[in-house]
Structures are given as structure tokens and as C-alpha cells.
Structure 1
Amino acid sequence: MQLSIRSYRPGDREDLYEICVRTGDNGADATSLYPDPRVLPDIFVGPYLAQEPELAFVVADTAGEDRALGYILGTSDTRRFVARYLAEWLPGVVDRYPDDGGRGSELRHPEVMLGPGVDEYPAHLHIDLLPQAQGQGLGRQLMRTFLGALRERGVLRVQLGMGVRNVAARAFYDRLGFTELARPVPGLVVLGRDTLMAGADSGR
């Protein structure tokens, strides 16, 4: 394989959906955890590709079929993202999933992203890599690319949420200079950092 970073293309969408599911259980495969596992990317991938595809970047095997094996995506403005999610994204997907207290219910409430610190850290991101794309510095390269794109838009700080059980991911973020901002609910930690490149020069 010859792996490299490139911008997202519309043809990558299903690859990114699959990656999200295959890493959706604190980095492990979440396929068996949900009656319809596409609920995960319909929360954590689809709305970002619809709203800000220019902030989506992928790791692709350019020597093979050029399929995506990892990605980073997000929004430069969480408040705007939530408003558009409710108005534009949610109506098209909400009927697919039951409002039963699980992920289908989570899909209906993006306003949980508007917690303390959202104005100081207005951007947020999601990053996932399949095992064959890990351990080669590609996560670090994705992060640097994304932070650079935010900085070009005048965005000074970014945050992310992650499961506290994902120890490997927490170590990765710590190496990249993220610090803990909050623990809004049990099992979830919110981390943040500025968009300058210092501190993003070592990692996964």
C-alpha cells in the first residue's frame, strides 16, 4: 500500500461511513452493536460531509483502488453546524431510527454539542483510522491538515469529544497538545487545543 492524505471526494462517502462503523466502539468495530449501524455515520459523518466537505480529508491507498482508510472531518462553527443539522440534515434521516433512548435518540439532539466552552472552542472534529492506516504518522498528518484548514478560516481553537475508555486515542490527543476541558456526562471527555501547529508534530 502507498498511503497518503488527500481532500475528500464525493465518491469516498460510503468508505467513510464504513470506517465510522468499524471504529465506532471506542476504536473497535461497532457493527454488531446496533440494529442499523448506519446510525453512527448518520450522526458523526454524513452531516459534516453535507455542510463542510472542504473540511474533510482522507487517508487513501493511492497505489491501489484509492479507497479511504481513514478520515478527519468537522466544522469550523459548532453553533452554525447544529442549526443547519436541525434544519437540513435531521429531517432527511430521523425517520430511519427509533427514538428509543439509544443512538436514534442521540441523532435527534445535536444541541448537546452546545456545552460550556463552545464559544471559546467553536470548531470541533472527528478522526478515525482503520488498523492498517495506524502507526504510520497518518493520524498526525490528518490533524495537521485539518488544523491548518481551520487556521486559514480564522478559527483559533477546536474541541472534540471522546469516550473515556479509548485509552489509545487519549494518548494520541495528549501527544498532539489537547487538554481536558470537561466531562459533561459519564463516559465522555471533551478535549481542546488551539489551531497552531506547535504540539502537533508527534503522534500516531
Structure 2
Amino acid sequence: MAVLDGQAVGYILGSTSQLLYRRAMTRSVLRTAWSVLPPVGKLWLCLRYLLRLARFASPHADWTQYPAHLHINLLPDARGFRLGEQSLEAYLLALSERGVPGVQLSTTTENQAAVGLYHKFGFQVLVSKVTPLWTLWLGHPAQHLIMGRLESAISVGH
């Protein structure tokens, strides 16, 4: 959890197992959908995204080389305080201590701040694919990136 002035302003989630990651994401999506059931509009937005995600499946890197996965998010007002860097550094250190061979993540070229952060920490683009997944929200297809970093880069630092 990233905290600024006593307020939670971001988080990093990760897993070292594809199976555990998918289970956790499924549970999280179901809990989130259940918690927003009364406001039907919010539930529809979640379902709309999930249906689009199923229709326009995201690529992944080789899970044997990159078994760990991460998702990081900061509120826009929390950017510029190195919270993303600190969170990512702590996560990568934890992976290194556990001997995890590599980590992958998913983003788009629309998120230039995140792409820059990932490059700074040694992540490289492994797969790049134009997808219509985000067209409803962006107004155009987006370049989906799967980025990865191997253990040799994890243990070296940034």
C-alpha cells in the first residue's frame, strides 16, 4: 500500500504463481461485482469490461520464465513522490529473495508514466499488440504491452 499524508493513495499487487494470480483476480472481481450490486450502473460497467476482456484476451509472457505478475496503481495526485518507485523496488526485492526467475506485467502505451517507470527498473517489452479492448473508454484501439524482467535484472536493482 502506498501512503501519503496518512492516506492510501496507491497499491501494488503481485503473485509468484499464475494459478494463484488467476484465482485471486477471479475472487477479487467477484467480490467487487458483489459489492457494487445495488448501483446497477457500476455493476454493468464491471461486466462490460470483463466481457470485453474475455473477447479481446490479453497476451502473456512465458509463465515458466516470468511466473510472477504485478499490477501497480497510484492516484494521479500521488504521482511525483517516488511512491511507485518505492513500491516496485520493494516488490522486486521480495521476488529476488524468493528466487523467482522473472516477473511480467501488462500495460498500454497510453500510460507513458508507467512505461517509463518500468523501463527505469529494467523491464523490456516482450509482446506488443494493438487491441480494441479500451476503445470504449479511449475512443481508439490501444497498443497493449506485456513487459517483463528476469531475475538477473531483479537482483541487480535499477
> TM over 0.5, yes or no?
yes
Which stretches of structure 1, 4 residues or more, deviate above 3 A after TM superposition? 83-86, 88-102, 112-116
How far off its partner does 1:177 sit? 0.7
Choose which of 81, 97, 104 in structure 2 pairs with 1:152: 97
Confirm or deny: 8 A CA contact 2:125 2:148 kept in the other structure: yes
Query: Is 1:82 aligned with 2:15?
Result: no
SS in 1 for 2:156: coil
Which structure exhibits the higher relative contact order, with contacts defined as CA atoms closer than 8 Å and separated by 6 or more residues? Answer: 2
Residue of structure 2 aligned with 1:168, choices 88, 98, 113: 113
Report if aligned partners of 1:98, 1:105 keep a CA contact under 8 Å in 2: no
Q: Give the alignment's TM-score, normalised by structure 1.
A: 0.55
Deviations 1:112-160 (CA, angstroms, capped at 9, x unpaired)? 4673412211111111222343223222111110111222333121011
Tell me the percent identity: 32
Number of residue pairs the alignment of both structures matches: 136
TM normalised by structure 2 equals: 0.68
Q: Please give the root-mean-square deviation of Cα atoms over the aligned residues, in Å.
A: 2.9
Match of 2:122 in 1: 177
Go from structure 1 to structure 2 and tell me whether the alpha carbon gap of 1:80 and 1:113 turns closer, same or farther (over 3 Å shift): farther
Q: Give the 3-state SS of the residue equivalent to 1:68 in structure 2.
A: strand
Instruction: Provide closer, same or farther for how the CA distance between residues 130 and 116 of structure 1 changes in structure 2, counting only shifts above 3 A.
Output: closer
Contact 2:65 2:150 in 1 (8 A): no
Q: Secondary structure at the match of 2:72?
A: strand
Are 1:71 and 2:29 matched, yes or no?
no
CA gap of 1:89–1:166, structure 2 versus 1, over 3 A, is closer
Q: 2:100 is aligned with what amino acid?
A: V
Unpaired stretches in structure 2, ≥5 consecutive residues: 38-42, 132-141
Question: Partners of 2:121 and 2:61 in 1: how far apart?
Answer: 22
Alpha-carbon separation, structure 2, partners of 1:158 and 1:166:
19
- Secondary structure of the corresponding residue to residue 154 of structure 1: coil
